Amino acid sequence: MTYRVADFQARAAARLTELREERSRLAELRRRHDTRRAELVQRREASLNELTTALLPALSGADLATAARLTGFPGLVQRDFPGQAESERSRLTARIAEIEADPRWRDRRLLRDPGVGTLTRAIAELQEFREPFAAVVERCRHPRLPRLLETGYGTSRYAVPFWRTSYYADWKAGDEILERFPGKKEFAEVLAEYLEAVRTLETYDPKLSSLKAEFTSGLMLEEEIEASRQGLESLVPRWLGLARIALAEHLEALPEESLGDVLVNVPALETTVKKWKGLDHQVRYLDSIRELQVEPACDQVDAEIAKLRKESLKYQRPKNAGTVFPAEAFERRFDPSRTEKLKKRVSRIGETQEKVYVFDRYDRGSFAANFLWWDLVTDGRIDGDFIPEVRAHHEAHPGARFERSLDDGDLAAAGAASSSSGSSRDGFLDAS
């Protein structure tokens, strides 16, 4: 039995449809990863903030010393956050007093009131006075104007001979400028008005600039004193926040085994610490699933789609219309089991992603050396050796065995299933 091009195109079209469906499912897993990762990161940061707030409730020396002792972080005291806060307080207080004594701030309403301020009115009057002169200068603006002024065009100084090309270029430029002044017949008239406008602006613009600079310096003082007052109001919360950030960075740098030592000192925070680290592992596991499973699957599907499309185009050419395909090779090429394997693969990836995301039993976590969060998160039912961290842990602890911890609901379900089926494995249900 053999197959022809029409058979190939039909099978290829069907296979492409299947591949595109799985590609869409993988794209959805990508989108789901981004959304869920962002959520877990937010929850992780909230847990860490909750932890540092509990460890360091205030910026007092006693609270800092206690937090440093509990977490093994002497740098928390050595950085002297209260002293730095007080130094800032002194600096801001002194600067506020200095600004309050400055006439530019003290007389701010008299000087800069939008309606009646002396500076405001003076600036407005000068701007109104200079406006017509500025308009003249603007109308005279031309690329060749500097040359016309330099050569004295329109005056007795102009000595460019008529046979020079520049003479006609000057003439054209002068006429173009003259056209902007309908009441003038000669460029000399325009030149006289222009020069008078320039002299006037040269007289008044420095005054205007000085007034504006004075106005701006006063505004800057108003902004500075407002910022300084806000700085005083937020002083303690800001420095407390900086201290908590330093504490958080210390905790994040600690090996997980060391967190167990911390909890010995503060057992009340055990759940909070476990939640924080559990969420951290969830984020990392989701990233690993994306990088090591979703992306390779996408690449594989994309490669097969590209290959099939290329082959399909190839066999559309007239010279290949009579191609015959041996049955064995053709059936191997379009083996339906390949599609089923791909579907199962994508489904497993989705199930793994879902399992990692929905986990919330952080209280069952541990900081023992032989504990692995992956086993807890996946209930020990998903092989995670595709993740280097998980594989390394299993290699380091070859004899470790995850024991599922059953709650009341689980125990009830286990009892019912056991009594109905009479089968069990090592005391646990076979959930396969």
pLDDT in tens, 197-224: 999 999 999 999 999 999 999 999 999 9
Q: Which of 97, 92, 99, 95 is nearest to 235 (CA)?
A: 92
Q: Which residues of 289-323 are buried (b: 16+ CB within 10 A; e: fewer)?
A: bbeebbeebbeebeebbeebeeebeebeeeeeeee
Percent of all residues in the chain with a pLDDT value above 90, rounded to a whole number: 82
Res 74: pLDDT = 94
Q: Structural domain boundaries of the chain? A: 2-68+255-415, 103-236
Residue 408 has pLDDT above 60, yes or no: no
In angstroms, the CA 148 to CA 154 distance is 8
Q: At what angle do helices 336-358 and 5-55 cross, to 10 degrees?
A: 10
pLDDT tens digits along 238-254: 999 999 999 999 999 99
pLDDT tens figures, 294-310: 999 999 999 999 999 99
Average pLDDT for 92-121: 95
Q: Are 63 and 56 in contact (CB under 8 A)?
A: yes
Output the pLDDT for position 25: 96
Q: Is the pLDDT of residue 432 over 60?
A: no
Task: Please tell me the predicted confidence (pLDDT) of residue 264.
Answer: 77
407 has pLDDT over 90: no
d(CA 349, CA 359): 16
pLDDT at 406: 60
Confidence class for position 257, pLDDT limits 50, 70, 90: confident
| 168 or 403: which leads in pLDDT | 168
Query: Which of the four pLDDT bands, split at 50, 70 and 90, describes residue 405?
Result: low
Per-residue pLDDT reduced to its tens digit, 51-81: 999 999 999 999 999 999 999 999 999 999 9
Terminal-residue alpha carbon distance, the chain: 41
For residue 259, pLDDT over 90 is answered with no
Please, which residues have CB within 8 angstroms of residue 254's CB and are 6 or more apart in sequence?
A: 262
